[in-house]
Chain A
Amino acid sequence: MAADLVFYGFALLTVLAGCFVVFSRNVVHAGFALMFTLLGVAGLYAMLGADFLAVTQTVVYIGGILILVLFAVMMTRVPSQNAPRRGLDRMVPAGIFAVAIFALLYKVATGTSWPTATPGEALPTAKLIGVKLMTDAIFPFEFASLVLLVAMIGAAILIRERKVLPAEAPAEEAATEAPADEPEVTA
């Protein structure tokens, strides 16, 4: 019974914070709400016996990805300009669509006869995952390092300061659709 209460606590935290992420007009608030969603999900992982993942979620997701997102929010804020109010014309169809998706998935989740087995006692998973990563799953493990490498290189390429002078800048803009109003920005 106590476990159920804990579940509902985490579930409520996850979903309510998720709603806040979606509906809040302030992006900074949305970012902080995302932290609570991720924390709630980490709690759910812990309840499901995924100790390693719960820690990973907290350390990598909240400690890494979320900080990155918040940095981006701070770096791209234009103080003078308030976020434009979102029109109902977009909210209503999107809301209907999202509710329909949720209804469908809820029906799938509750109506399907999943091939369940009675869950055994939750054992520490870190060792199992570690062994698996070094044996069966060594290829995806190495492959993921390539993905991280390309993410690193890509991010560096995309946002490193430009050294090129505007005079040398590519001419393809001018040739096709002279952007008189917005000249190329060189940082």
Chain B
Amino acid sequence: MTVGLPHFLTIGAALFALGIFAMMTRRNAVALLMGVELILNGANVNFVAFARYVDGGVDGHLMAAFVIVLAAAEAAVGLAIVLAMFRNFGTVHVDTVNRLKR
């Protein structure tokens, strides 16, 4: 079977599922952000694959480019928050951060 759209979508789905798994099991805040990057990349693979096989234009590419830009912005803010957390709590382990009542 020649490589086609479903193959790329499967890779996107795999990255997405791995990202979700990381978000559910990881307790290191930086590792959680890595999980987010996996999810975003999964979506991006889909966008580019659809742009090639469905749309034929560059709309999907444009979206993927914006996602990369936003991933950079989100990483900057996210890591700043993680560093603030490290400064205040002395750890990046999210389970130890529970001063707010449940």
Which A residues are CB-close (under 8 A) to B86? 75-76
* CB <8 Å contact, B58 and A125: yes
A34 touches B52 (CB 8 A): no
Residue from the list A41, A95, A108, A140 in contact with B44, Cβ < 8 A: A41
Contact partners of A154 in chain B: CB under 8 A: 76-77, 80
Which residues on B sit within 8 Å (CB–CB) of A93? 24
Inter-chain contact B22/A119, CB cutoff 8 Å: no
| Complex contacts, A11 vs chain B, CB 8 Å | 7, 11
User: A44 to B45, Cβ gap below 8 A?
Assistant: yes
Secondary structure call for the B interface? helix
Residues of B within 8 A of A75 (CB): 83, 86
Q: How far is the CA of A69 from the CA of B80 in the complex (A)?
A: 11
- Asked whether B10 lies within 8 Å of A129 as measured between CB atoms, the reply is no
Nearest-CB residue, chain B, relative to A12: B11
Report Cα–Cα, A47/B10, bound state, in Å: 15
User: A21-B22, A69-B79, A78-B90 given as contacts; is B5 within 8 A of A114 (CB)?
Assistant: yes
Please list the residues of chain B having a beta carbon within 8 angstroms of any beta carbon in chain A: 2-3, 5-18, 20-22, 24-31, 33-35, 37-38, 41, 44-45, 48-54, 56-58, 61-62, 64-66, 68-77, 79-84, 86-93, 99
Query: A94-B24, A179-B99 given. 10 additional CB < 8 A pairs?
Result: A11-B7, A18-B15, A34-B38, A45-B45, A60-B68, A76-B83, A105-B13, A114-B54, A117-B53, A122-B52
Interface residues of A (CB under 8 A from B): 3-4, 7-8, 11, 14-15, 18-19, 21-22, 27, 30-31, 34, 37-38, 41, 44-45, 48-50, 52-53, 56-57, 60-61, 64-65, 68-69, 71-73, 75-76, 78, 81, 83-84, 86, 90-91, 93-95, 97-99, 101-102, 105-106, 108-110, 114-117, 119-120, 122, 125, 128-129, 132-133, 137, 140, 144, 147-148, 150-152, 154-155, 158-159, 177, 179, 182, 184-185, 187
